[in-house]
Amino acid sequence: MPKTKTAKTGNKTQTPPTRRLLTGAVAKFAKFSPEFMADGRGDQQQNRRYAATELNAQCDLTAPMPTDLQDWENAPVVGSEKL
């Protein structure tokens, strides 16, 4: 088992992801039958992607901010948030 390293940065303790070896990966892939992906992935039609300018053009800038977002915006600072 790999040894876990931790690093302390300010008031945070971070554990980076451990590296997993690919030993035996080829053998695992070899277990799949030849018909596994014979039909491909099927229909993979992509939905239209909108540009930010298109989405912003749909916004009503005169609409009031929803109550839950107002509450979030007006909530007191409770941690080490930087404003």
- What's this model's pTM, rounded to 2 decimal places? 0.31
Which DSSP string corresponds to the chain?
A: -PPP--EEETTEEE-PPPPPP-TTHHHHHHTS-TTTTTTTT---PPPPPPPHHHHHHT--TTSPPPHHHHHHHHSPP-SS---
- In this predicted model, what pLDDT tens digit does every residue of 44-63 receive, in sequence order? 788 899 999 999 999 998 99
Q: What is the pLDDT of residue 1?
A: 56
